[in-house]
């Protein structure tokens, strides 16, 4: 038997513009996790090995042979992650096995649930066959699967989750991590509205296609915010981060990826004393984050967010 887990992630700055080559900053969120367990259940028999692989995801009511998932739901991310990992490991006739998946990361909420499930399954499978894959290899397999979740992913989710480190991410470039000179505190609140990233990413693409020069200029502004945020984090000037979050949220509103619920939570956090707040991830629902200083303010801000309708609130330290 082999088991692995992977954290969630939160994008601090730069979502959406990151799809267009601008940098973004993201960190792992260890309070939420995806888990995968893989157990051999016998020898492979029959024509198709995928008949002997059982996929169980009790949280979503899925108990099915892999072959049925492939035929009824193709392309299915869970089927793809198993197939791609076995292919990467060079295993074409695996023994019968069962994959059991669980996750405390809310789906379609901007916390990287899809990428975390992929990373946990990839590592658990590699462990079952006593093989080790580098973080880069794990991230690359998860990136292929992310394409099924949302079309043109930048790769930031699979990168921050596979490496489980703070990441300064530029699409197509080698991973850079960043240092946190002084820890800072975030309150992350979930609108409770599932919002598929595919849709918001697709809508931003339509805007960009209709007026590239306007949106390239908006993405440039996001890129400047990200650079300033990185230098503030690396030099311990965390008080500069609040206004930068507000500026990033305004640019995301311009991209039409906020929502009345996200704006309500952002306003509630600010009214309760947060230094800055913004949506995080694909938007239109999912999570927002607020910068809290000093950390003693966090419980009161979390309470205000619950009163404003947040379904789940996480307080986390970065650094
Ligand atoms: C999703 O977590 C972040 C987006 O920027 C999409 C992506 O980078 O693939 C919205």
pLDDT digits (tens, 9 = 90+) for 91-111: 988 999 999 999 999 988 889
In the chain, the percentage of residues whose pLDDT exceeds 70 is 99
Residue 175 placed within a domain: no
Q: Considering the domain boundaries, does residue 138 fall inside one?
A: yes
275 pLDDT band, cuts 50/70/90, is very high
- The more confident residue out of 197 and 272 is 272
Ligand 1 contacts CB of residue 154 (under 6 A) = yes
Indicate if 158 and 244 belong to the same structural domain. Answer: no
The range of the structural domain enclosing residue 277 comes to 180-318
pLDDT value of residue 8: 97
Mean pLDDT of 220-230: 98
Average pLDDT value for residue range 67-92? 92
Please identify, among 147, 169, 191, the residue that sits at the C-terminal boundary of a domain: 169
- Among 169, 197, 216, identify where a domain stops: 169
Task: Report d(CA 210, CA 206) in Å as an integer.
Answer: 6
Ligand 1 centroid to residue 299 C-alpha, Å:
29
289 within a domain of the structure (yes/no)? yes
pTM: 0.95
Residue 106 resides in a domain: yes
The alpha carbon of 156 and the centre of ligand 1 are apart by a number of angstroms equal to 7
- Point out the domain boundary residue: 110, 140, 169: 169
Best mutation site among 154, 159, 257 for ligand 1, i.e. most ligand atoms within 8 A of its Cβ?
A: 154
Same domain, 270 and 153: no
157 lines ligand 1 (CB under 6 A): yes
> Is the Cβ atom of 19 under 6 angstroms away from ligand 1?
yes
Is pLDDT of 205 > 90? yes
The pLDDT of 168-180, averaged and rounded, is: 96
* CB 143 near ligand 1, within 6 Å: no
State residue 129's pLDDT score. Answer: 96
Write b or e for each residue in 58-70: b if 16 or more Cβ atoms lie within 10 A of its Cβ, otherwise e.
eeeeeebebbebb
Asked whether residue 307 is assigned to any structural domain, the reply reads yes
Q: Is the pLDDT of residue 150 over 90?
A: no
Is residue 316 in contact with ligand 1, taking CB distance under 6 Å? no
User: Could you tell me if 215 and 269 are in contact, meaning their C-beta atoms sit under 8 angstroms apart?
Assistant: no
Cα 269 to ligand 1 centroid, rounded to whole Å: 23
Q: Tell me, yes or no, whether 230 and 298 share the same domain.
A: yes
User: Of 166, 159, 200, 170, whose CA–CA distance to 186 is shortest?
Assistant: 166
The band of 256, judged by pLDDT with boundaries at 50, 70 and 90, is: very high
Residue 274 in any domain: the answer is yes
Task: Tell me, yes or no, whether 163 and 241 share the same domain.
Answer: no
| Claim to verify: residue 44 and residue 190 sit in the same structural domain | no
Distance CA 174, CA 51 (A): 38
Is 157 tagged catalytic? yes
For residues 17 and 159, membership in a common domain is answered with yes
To test the pocket of ligand 1, the residue of 12, 26, 157 to mutate (highest count of ligand atoms within 8 Å of its CB) is 157
Where b means 16+ CB within 10 Å and e means fewer, 208-247 reads: beeeeeebeebbebbbebbbbbbebbeeeebeebbebbbb
Residues 160 and 14 occupy one common structural domain? yes
Same domain assignment for residues 226 and 158:
no
pLDDT (mean) for 69-89: 92
For ligand 1, is residue 201 a contact (CB within 6 Å)? yes
- Dist. CA 225 → ligand 1 center (Å): 17
3-state secondary structure labels for all residues of 82-117: HHHHHHHHCCCCCCEEEEEEEECCCCCCCCCHHHHH
Average pLDDT of the chain is 95
Q: Which atom of ligand 1 is nearest to the CA of 157?
A: 2
**Is 80 exceeded by the pLDDT of residue 44?**
no
Residues 161 and 222 in one domain: no
pLDDT in tens, 15-31: 999 999 999 999 999 99
Count of domains observed in the chain: 2
Q: Which is nearest to 156 in space by CA: 18, 13, 318?
A: 18
Q: Verify that 240 and 287 share a domain, yes or no.
A: yes
31 and 161 part of one domain: yes
Q: Is pLDDT at 42 greater than 90 in this prediction? A: no
Of the listed 157, 190, 246, 275, which one is catalytic? 157
Query: 165 alpha carbon to ligand 1 midpoint, in Å?
Result: 17
Q: What is the CATH number of the domain that holds 300?
A: 3.30.70.890
- 61 and 163 in a single domain? The answer is yes
pLDDT at 75 over 90: no
Q: Is the CB of 287 under 6 A from ligand 1?
A: no
Taking the CA of residue 152 as reference, the ligand 1 atom at the shortest distance is: 9
- Ligand 1 atom index nearest CA of 156: 8
- Is a pLDDT exceeding 90 seen at residue 73? no
pLDDT confidence bin for 70, thresholds 50/70/90: confident
| pLDDT exceeds 90 at position 170 | yes
Ligand 1 pocket: which of 9, 13, 19 to mutate (most atoms within 8 A of CB): 19
């Amino acid at each position: 038997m082999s088991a692995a887990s992977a954290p969630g992630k939160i994008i601090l700055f730069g979502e959406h513009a990151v799809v267009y080559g601008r940098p973004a900053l993201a960190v792992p969120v260890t309070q939420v996790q995806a888990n995968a367990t893989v157990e051999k259940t016998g020898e492979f028999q029959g024509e198709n090995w995928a008949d002997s692989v059982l996929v169980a995801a009790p949280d979503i009511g899925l108990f099915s042979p892999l072959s049925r998932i492939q035929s009824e739901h193709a392309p299915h991310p869970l089927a793809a992650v198993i197939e791609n990992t076995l292919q990467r490991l060079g295993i074409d006739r695996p023994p019968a096995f069962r994959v059991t998946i669980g996750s405390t990361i809310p789906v379609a909420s901007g916390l990287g649930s899809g990428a975390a499930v992929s990373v946990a399954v990839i590592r658990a499978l590699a462990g079952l066959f006593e093989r080790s894959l580098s973080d880069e290899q794990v991230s690359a397999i998860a990136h292929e699967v992310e394409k099924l979740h949302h079309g043109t992913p930048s790769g930031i989710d699979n990168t921050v989750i596979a490496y489980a480190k703070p990441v300064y991410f530029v699409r197509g470039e080698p991973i850079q991590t960043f240092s946190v000179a002084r820890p800072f505190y975030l309150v992350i609140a979930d609108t409770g509205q599932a919002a598929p990233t595919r849709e918001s990413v697709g809508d931003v693409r339509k805007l960009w296609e209709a007026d590239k020069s306007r949106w390239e200029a908006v993405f440039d502004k996001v890129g400047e915010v990200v650079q300033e945020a990185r230098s503030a984090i690396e030099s311990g000037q965390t008080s500069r981060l609040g206004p930068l979050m507000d500026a990033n949220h305004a640019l995301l509103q311009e991209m039409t990826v906020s929502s009345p619920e996200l704006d309500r939570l952002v306003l509630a956090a600010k009214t309760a004393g947060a230094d800055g707040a913004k949506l995080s991830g694909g938007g239109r629902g999912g999570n927002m984050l607020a910068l809290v200083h000093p950390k003693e303010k966090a419980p009161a801000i979390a309470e205000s967010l619950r009163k404003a309708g947040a379904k789940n609130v996480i307080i986390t330290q970065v650094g």
